């Protein structure tokens, strides 16, 4: 599944256009490297999402088979490894 679709399906980011914008600006990393929105994800990948001064690091547990995922099962797609605030 594409990175931008996963971000939306898992509800880590609300809209696909916003997910694509995050990727274009280099705010999303996959396994430590900046990633384009078209990057194919697989189970076990590590994502780092930077929002303002907060960095959220998650591990992809499973890739959904469809784009539509229920709100209840969205959080089962990933595990939050770390959330930290970068001070300026």
Question: Which pLDDT score, from 0 to 100, does residue 8 have?
Answer: 94
Using the predicted structure, report yes or no on whether residue 88 has a pLDDT greater than 90: no
Number of domains in the chain: 1
Query: What band does 87 get if pLDDT is binned at 50, 70 and 90?
Result: confident
CATH label of the domain that carries residue 67: 3.10.290.10
pLDDT digits (tens, 9 = 90+) for 26-76: 999 999 999 999 999 999 999 999 999 899 999 999 999 888 899 989 999
Question: What is the C-alpha to C-alpha distance for residues 83 and 22, in angstroms, rounded to an integer?
Answer: 17
60 alpha-carbon distance from chain centroid: 8
Q: What is the mean pLDDT of residues 18-33?
A: 96
> Domain containing 70: what range?
3-85
């Amino acid at each position: 599944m594409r990175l931008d679709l996963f971000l939306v399906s898992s509800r880590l980011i609300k809209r696909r256009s916003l997910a694509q914008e995050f990727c274009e600006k280099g705010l999303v990393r996959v396994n430590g490297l900046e990633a384009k929105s078209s990057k194919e994800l697989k189970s076990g990948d590590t994502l780092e999402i930077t929002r303002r001064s907060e960095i959220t690091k998650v591990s992809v547990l499973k890739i959904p088979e469809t784009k539509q995922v229920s709100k209840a099962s969205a959080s089962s797609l990933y595990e939050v490894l770390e959330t930290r605030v970068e001070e300026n």
